[in-house]
A and B are shown apart, each in its own frame.
Chain A
């Protein structure tokens, strides 16, 4: 997979003299020692990440893990202590002020946890904000913005102020504002975390639907594992400023790297994460419905139960049958925690 954003050896130390603390960290001083003895906070420690182009990279971690700090390094709202951020082969940290402004205007837009809309502007005026900064004539900007307002389902609310809208609707405005600039990178900082569970699912669906045709490179920060597994193509788990595991949702659930992640994943509905191709056997001659290898166990369960042979034939992308899945396999996949051998 093509890499769009690459973060290399990134460190961020908060405090009065981060540069000299950097030497101490390199010499092996831990986060706790740095905090207790030197009064500096190690926000991010040796982050190395490759984020796939046109995919959704989720960065997951609990509060204080450094995930919001990390996403702000991509568009340099926060300057790193040391390290590199490469986007399309260009070093973001080498950009001067003007280049950086152009980068933020045209290539990376952002959605915020607390929406951060302009309260004195209407929905329409908020949506054209990024275009206005780009210098687009108002008439064109409004036309473009109207399209995105419609896409996020807010037609008819153009003249309302953010204060008159519910949280979910406000975040739709935030999403429309970010999409309107046509940037191919979308940074989402806990974008749905402030919303009610039902509305959050709604927003996830909107995002996934849009992504099917837009194919943007999305960096999505969340503290919610369900959300991470649902929308992520790639997930990086962050703890105490360090990446402790990277991989696809299946890899995270099926092969947790340590007890910390295992603890996280044990309550997860595995049927919603594991795909048929992960648990299939050698094909046999028995009949059954033909299902895609990408289908989730949960979705397949109903179809397999209704099949007389209690099994389904699993196909690859070309439509060829490459394996079979029986009802027992499905039950085992949903129930048993260790399937390492199958991966």
Chain B
């Protein structure tokens, strides 16, 4: 009855060869294509560096003013405006301004990438059940696989630096954007779509004039989630060379600097709250027209 208590596992040597095969295969792939892939991402790197420099070169009062102004435009809520300006001022006062600018720049680029990728993929998913069946499990993997696991191939391929960091953040933060775009479009009232058909709308007209506008609140919830998740990835991304608020946190962990860790951590929280309140209140304002509806 040995076979009941002993699991029929692959032999030790076979297992080693199996792993080695995968490792060697990926390594030779890296040697072959690593450089061209790096070149492919070069414009992204240049843009990221340019944005970071721009933010750092912006006089701090101007930056705070811009954020406050955006806050006002999006929310029309003076509490959010004052809260944002005050917390940004405090972050700078406590010596974290430069790291904050790095983090903000990577969040901006990451959010732009996620919208650029997530919107079309989400639209595709909403239009075809087959696409949905294929993409959904991929999203599940992206969201549940421990981030350290996909850091390995990314680092093997691209080394340590901003771009691999950005890619790992995008992998983590992209799924909600796709899911909520898909959901938003699928939730559009069927009767309204039938009316669009009855008036002879082409598929493109239907998408632009009806489906996307009506899905916008959900799409905006996706943008909001994407921003929140990319902020959450900042510390992990700093392990592979992304500058910003994550690096001092990492340093604080290895040296047991409590205050340093706490301050930088709270700065990330403050950024998260600013981004969240501004994007969420904008998303809500998009739905104002629903205000007086009976249903």
Chain A residues proximal to chain B, CB less than 8 Å: 75, 77, 100-106, 109-110, 112, 114, 116-120, 129-130, 132-134, 161-164, 167, 177, 181, 187
Are A133 and B291 in contact, CB atoms less than 8 angstroms apart? Answer: no
Q: How far does the alpha carbon of A75 sit from the alpha carbon of B197 in the complex, in Å?
A: 10
B200 & A104 in contact (Cβ 8 Å cutoff) = yes
Stretch with Cβ within 8 A of A (4 or more), from B104-112, B168-176, B207-215: B207-215
Q: Which B-chain residue is minimally distant from A116 (CB atoms)? A: B195
Identity of the chain B residue whose Cβ is nearest the Cβ of A107 in the assembled complex: B200
Q: Which residues of B contact A105 (CB under 8 A)?
A: 199-200
A sample of 12 more A-B contacts (CB under 8 A), given A104-B199, A118-B209, A133-B200, is: A101-B200, A103-B200, A105-B199, A105-B200, A112-B194, A118-B214, A119-B214, A119-B293, A130-B199, A133-B199, A134-B200, A161-B292
Q: Are B195 and A110 in contact (CB under 8 A)?
A: yes
Q: Which residues of A contact B198 (CB under 8 A)?
A: 75, 77, 104, 109-110, 112, 187
If A116-B192, A116-B194, A118-B210 touch, whether A133 touches B201 (CB-CB below 8 Å) is: yes
A119–B196 alpha-carbon span in the complex (Å): 13
A118 to B201, CA, bound (A): 13
Give per-residue flags for B178-206: 1 if the beta carbon is below 8 A from chain A beta carbons, else 0.
Answer: 00000000000101101101111110010
The binding surface of chain B is classed by DSSP as helix
Most chain A C-beta atoms within 10 Å of own C-beta, residue among B209, B214, B289, B292: B289
Give the complex CA separation of A133 and B203 in angstroms. 11
Q: Which residues of A contact B16 (CB under 8 A)?
A: none
- Tell me the B106-125 residues at the A interface (CB within 8 Å): none
Contact with A along B85-109 (1 / 0, CB 8 A): 0000000000000000000000000
For this complex, 12 residue pairs linking A to B, each with C-beta atoms less than 8 Å apart, are A75-B198, A101-B202, A104-B197, A104-B198, A109-B198, A110-B195, A116-B195, A119-B192, A134-B200, A162-B293, A163-B290, A163-B294
Contacts of A106 in B (CB 8 A): 200
Contact B292 A102 (CB under 8 A): no
A104 to B194 alpha-carbon distance, docked (Å): 12
Contact of B191 among A116, A130, A133, A177 (CB under 8 A): A116
Q: Which 7 residue pairs spanning A and B have beta carbons closest together?
A: A104-B200, A105-B200, A163-B293, A116-B195, A110-B198, A161-B289, A116-B191
Contact A119 B292 (CB under 8 A): no
State in angstroms the CA–CA spacing of A116 and B195 once bound together.
6
Q: How far is the CA of A181 from the CA of B200 in the complex (A)?
A: 11
By a CB distance below 8 angstroms, the chain A residues around B199 are: 104-105, 109-110, 129-130, 133, 177, 181
User: Count of B residues near A, CB < 8 Å?
Assistant: 23
- A77 to B194 CA separation, bound complex (whole angstroms): 8
Quote the shortest CB–CB distance from A321 to chain B (angstroms): 48
Docked CA distance A110–B213 (Å):
22
Chain B residues 268 to 295 lying within 8 A of chain A, measured CB to CB, are 289-294
Inter-chain CA distance A129–B192, complex, in Å, is 12
Report yes or no: A112 in contact with B290, Cβ–Cβ below 8 A. no
Residues of A within 8 A of B195 (CB): 110, 112, 116-118
**Whole-angstrom CA separation of A114 from B194 in the bound complex:** 11
CB closest chain-A residue, reference B195: A116
Closest to B288 in A: A161
The CA-CA distance from A163 to B292 in the complex, in Å, is 5
| Partner of B291 from A102, A134, A163, A187 at Cβ < 8 Å | A163
The reply to whether A120 and B214 form a contact with Cβ atoms under 8 Å apart is yes
8 A Cβ contacts from B214-271 to A: 214, 216
Q: How far is the CA of A106 from the CA of B216 in the complex (A)?
A: 30
How far, in whole Å, are A130 and B199 apart by their CA atoms in the complex?
6
Which A residues are in CB contact (< 8 Å) with B194? 77, 112, 116
Residue of B nearest to A163 (CB): B293
* B200 x A102 contact (CB < 8 A): yes
Is there contact, CB below 8 Å, between A118 and B192?
yes
Q: Nearest Cβ in chain A — how far from B15, in angstroms?
A: 48
- With both beta carbons as reference points, the residue of chain A lying nearest to B289 in the complex is identified as A161
A120 to B289, CA, bound (A): 6
Residues of A within 8 A of B202 (CB): 101, 133
A207 shortest CB reach to chain B, Å: 18
B210 proximity list for chain A (CB < 8 A): 118
Asked if A119 and B201 make an inter-chain contact with CB atoms under 8 angstroms apart, the answer reads no
Select from chain A the residue with minimum beta-carbon distance to B201: A133
When chains A and B are docked, how far (Å) is the Cα of A73 from the Cα of B292? 35
Which of A101, A132, A161 sits near B209, CB closer than 8 Å?
Answer: A132
Give Cα A101 to B44, complex, Å: 42
A134 to B293 CA separation, bound complex (whole angstroms) = 29
How many Å lie between the Cα of A281 and that of B202 in the bound state?
Answer: 59
Q: Is the CB of A77 within 8 A of B197?
A: yes
Whether A164 lies near B192 (C-beta < 8 A) is no
Name, among A106, A114, A167, the residue most crowded by chain B CB atoms within 10 Å (CB to CB): A114
